[in-house]
A and B are shown apart, each in its own frame.
Chain A
Amino acid sequence: AQKITQTQPGMFVQEKEAVTLDCTYDTSDPSYGLFWYKQPSSGEMIFLIYQGSYDQQNATEGRYSLNFQKARKSANLVISASQLGDSAMYFCAMRESRRAQKLVFGQGTRLTINP
C-alpha cells in the first residue's frame, strides 16, 4: 500500500533562511505523482509543486523546489528565502497512478517562520 511519511512535526526557521521539509514515500507502482500543499490556518489547501515519477529534472516553482531522489523514495520540499507568510502546515501527497485519482497525504509539518 502507498504511504507518505513526514518525520518533522514542526520546524522553526528564521526569516530569509532556506528550509527543507522532508518527505519519503512508499509505492510499488512505477507511475506516480508527488505533490506538496500548503495549508494556512484558514484551512484551504494550496497547491505548491508537482513531480512526476518519470520526470528527469527536479520540479521548481518560484521559491519552491522539489529535491526528488527516486532511488531513496524521497521528495523533499525546499523553500528558499523564507517569508513570514510561509508559516503554515505543509503536506506531502502522492497519487499512485492515473487510474486512482485519490491522494494519500503525510501527517504534515508545521512550519513557523520567525522574524
Chain B
Amino acid sequence: KAGVTQTPRYLIKTRGQQVTLSCSPISGHRSVSWYQQTPGQGLQFLFEYFSETQRNKGNFPGRFSGRQFSNSRSEMNVSTLELGDSALYLCASSFRDSPGDYGYTFGSGTRLTVV
C-alpha cells in the first residue's frame, strides 16, 4: 500500500518568489492536512481539505493557500516567499471520520529553503 507522497523533497527558492508543493494521500483517504515545522515554532497546522473543500485553517497569512483535487491530491502554494517561510512542510492524510486508531499518515515532507 503506497504511503503519502510529497513532492518535491527539497526546494530552494529566492525571497519574493512563489512555490507550490504537492501531496498525494493514501488511496481512499479524502482528508489532507498541511503542517509547517520550524525549529522556533515547532509543528503548526496550516489547513485541512476534505472533498475539495477547505474545512479548517490555521493562523497563517493569506500568502499561504491550498487546494484539493477530485482525486484527493492536494497542493499548497506560498506566494511572495519570506526567509521565515523556510521550513519542513508536512502533509497528512486520513479517513476524516475515523483517524483515531490509525492516526494521521504523514508524508516525508518537503524541505523548503528561502534564500
A contact residues vs B (CB 8 Å cutoff):
33, 35, 37, 42-47, 50, 52, 91, 93, 95, 98, 100-108
Contact = CB atoms under 8 A, between A and B. Distances in A.
A contacts with B: majority SS: strand
Contact of A45 (B56, B58, B92, B99): B92
Q: Give me the 6 closest cross-chain CB pairs, A-B, nearest first.
A: A47-B103, A45-B106, A105-B43, A102-B45, A44-B108, A43-B109
Contacts, number: 63
Contacts of B33: 101-103
Nearest to B57: A102
A35 B101 CA distance: 9
Given A50-B100, A106-B42, 4 more contacts: A45-B92, A102-B33, A102-B45, A107-B42
Contact of B99 (A37, A43, A95, A107): A95
Contacts of B103: 35, 37, 47, 50
B101 A50 contact: yes
